[in-house]
Amino acid sequence: MTRVTVWNEYRHEKDSEAVAEVYPDGIHAAIADGLAERGFETRTATLDEPEHGLTEEVLDGTDVLTWWGHRAHAEVSDEVVERVRDRVLDGMGLLVLHSGHYSKIFKRLMGTTCGLKWREAGERERVWVVEPGHPIAAGLDEYFEVPEAEMYGERFDVPAPETLVFASWFEGGELFRSGCCYTRGNGRIFYFRPGHETYPIYYQEEILRVLANAVEWAAPTDGPEPTLENVDPIENLD
């Protein structure tokens, strides 16, 4: 069974009534429950736990890590960021969610600012599937809508995705590349835009379906261990 660790900063939920009303047990609980219902073995980890809940042992037992952070990106220790990065390069999948675009780990793996345009006005978002044959789009219609969302607009300062699975339109007129696939080393990374602390987006059926599909896509495969050192020839060169 694929083992998922759902990481959350878990600060908004503790000091904002409006957020706690939407996510009483935290955003991580909503995501972990949704994934558990879809057949994954889930655990959660949060910023204020020792080592942010991401010890070597936890990461070694994680096939796919999901990352939600917003206002405390700077509090994530560089040591843990490097540990997560090493695991991704080694094959662990990583799902970076919504405001996680500005997390240290995403910026480290992308190498760009990962900045974007944004506005919080409860706009409708229409998420278009632009790569219908991709496993992350399995079971979806041509598009789905998020009734109330924070707007993220282009330009999104990331490297061109290896595959763009979703593109979003917003009521205010902006566009956004909202489902971006990357590989780094042996690891697969999926950035997924929807999700904000004051909207019940992580309970929405289509969103949970995408997350479940993305976990399956990002899970490590049983590929060969690459040799990254000086080697003797396989054929006789004499």
Residue type, 64: V
Q: Report the residue from 83, 193, 196, 209 that binds Zn ion according to the rule CB under 5 A.
A: 196
String of DSSP letters for 168-180 = EEETTS-EEEEEE
Structure-block tokens of residue 103: 């997390």
Stretch that binds Zn ion, among 81-89, 167-175, 193-201, 225-233 (CB under 5 A): 193-201
Count residues binding Zn ion (CB under 5 A). Answer: 3
- Give phi and psi for 157, each to the nearest 5: -85, 75
CB of 229 to Zn ion, least distance (A): 44
| Contacting range for Zn ion; rule: CB under 5 A; set: 87-95, 126-134, 183-191, 195-203 | 195-203
Question: Cβ of residue 150: shortest distance to Zn ion, in angstroms?
Answer: 4
> Which CA distances in Å does 6 have to 45, 112, 147, 150?
6, 24, 25, 22
Complex with Zn ion: residue 182 or 202, whichever CB lies closer: 202
Question: In terms of CB distance, is 11 or 188 closer to Zn ion?
Answer: 11
Residue from 13, 123, 150, 174 touching Zn ion (CB under 5 A): that is 150
Taking the least distance from each CB to Zn ion, the nearer of 125 and 150 is: 150
Burial of 194 (0-12, 13-18, 19+ CB in 10 A): buried
Give the nearest distance from C-beta 103 to Zn ion in angstroms: 13
99 binds Zn ion (CB under 5 A): yes
Q: Please, are residues 1 and 39 in contact by the beta-carbon 8 Å criterion?
A: yes
| Residue 12 binds Zn ion, judged by CB under 5 A | no
Q: Which residues lie below 8 Å from residue 64, measured CB to CB, with a gap of 6+?
A: 2, 3, 4, 5, 92, 93, 94, 95, 215, 218, 219
Q: Which span sits near Zn ion by CB under 5 A: 56-64, 128-136, 145-153, 202-210? A: 145-153
The structure tokens 């969302």 sit at 149
Per CB under 5 A, residues contacting Zn ion are: 99, 150, 196
